[in-house]
Amino acid sequence: MLEPLFLQLEQHDVVSEAEQALLAATISAPRDFAVGQDLVSAGSRPTYSTLLVDGLAARYKVLEDGGRQFTSLQVPGDFVDLHAFLLKTMDHGIVALSPCRVLIADHNRLRKITETAPHLTRLLWLDTLVDGAIHREWIVAMGRRSKTSHLAHLVCELYVRLKVVKRTSGMSFRLTLKQAELADVLGLSVVHMNRIIGELRKLGVITWADQSLTIVDWERLQEIAEFDPTYLSLVRESR
């Protein structure tokens, strides 16, 4: 069940068998969440971190006027709230966008890892750093890209991240988001989100129906997005 996590970690560096065993011993208790449920709620102080192993989840904040903004999308193999291990208090919620299965890693055990397994510690740290790199890319997209380019970039990113954990088939992947939720990713109104999607469809670079998104023209999509996957650190080297 830890496979997606290992697939992700091994993109960055070699993970020894001892380290894999240590992770396996740290993580326990599978749990399932239904669509719309909070995996972790804002303001809470969890004593464990949550590893997503199946489904799609998102971090979000809600403003006083009711507006919601997603700050990240989480795919299988992502530690959705590893940062809570040190930040202690959740400053945002995490919601299931599809049925989700998660595993639990107790903070005491994570602390043990930091005390006994420096290399594995660095890999977990790196996990949160990639998270930050994705955030930066989103900021750039929100600030300076056209909406069409922003959406294209998101599709590229999701495709690459899902491919790493073998959740793609060919140039397609399941995307269980509603358009209203996508709008909360890009910071748009639902109506306009719909038109932007129509834009990419009309350009013939994607199709999206029945929760299945297919990239029809990967080259063109990358161009529109100015997508450069460097920020995902998908290079296996000593860390």
Partner DNA sequence: CGTCGGGTTGAGTCCATTCAACTTCGGTGG
Partner DNA sequence: CCACCGAAGTTGAATGGACTCAACCCGACG
When asked if residue 187 is in the footprint of DNA (CB under 7 A), the reply is: yes
198 binds, among DNA, its own copies, none (CB under 5 to 8 A by kind): DNA
Residue 72 found at the interface with its own copies (CB under 8 A): yes
Q: Which does 92 bind (CB under 5 to 8 A by kind): DNA, its own copies, none?
A: its own copies
Tell me how crowded residue 104 is: count the other CB atoms within 10 A of its CB.
17
**Residue 169 is which amino acid?**
S
Selection from 201, 195, 229 nearest residue 215 by Cα: 201
E strand or H helix at 31, and its extent? strand 27-33
CB of 54 or CB of 155, closer to its own copies: 155
Applying CB under 7 A, the span of 26-34, 106-114, 175-183, 223-231 interacting with DNA comes to: 175-183
Q: How many CB atoms lie within 10 A of CB 80?
A: 23
Contact positions with DNA (CB under 7 A) in 100-159: 146-147
Please check whether residue 26 is in contact with residue 110, taking contact to mean a CB–CB distance below 8 angstroms. yes
Q: Which of DNA, its own copies, none interacts with 197 (beta carbon under 5 to 8 A by kind)?
A: DNA
237 binds its own copies (CB under 8 A): yes
Q: Is 130 in the site for its own copies (CB under 8 A)?
A: yes
| Element holding 150 (H helix, E strand) | helix 147-164
Give kind and range of the element (H or E) at residue 10: helix 3-12
What binding mask, one character per residue, do residues 189-218 give for DNA by CB under 7 A, x or -? xxxxxxx-xx--------------------
Q: CA-to-CA distance for 34 and 238, rounded, in angstroms?
A: 38
Cβ-contact 104, 87 below 8 angstroms: no
Q: What sign does the dihedral 178-182-183-185 (CA atoms) show? A: positive
Binding stretches for DNA (CB under 7 A): 146-147, 178-180, 187-195, 197-198
Binding stretches for its own copies (CB under 8 A): 59, 61, 63-64, 67-69, 71-72, 83, 86-89, 91-92, 111, 114-115, 118, 121-122, 125-126, 128-133, 135-140, 142-145, 184, 186-187, 226, 230-231, 233, 235, 237, 239
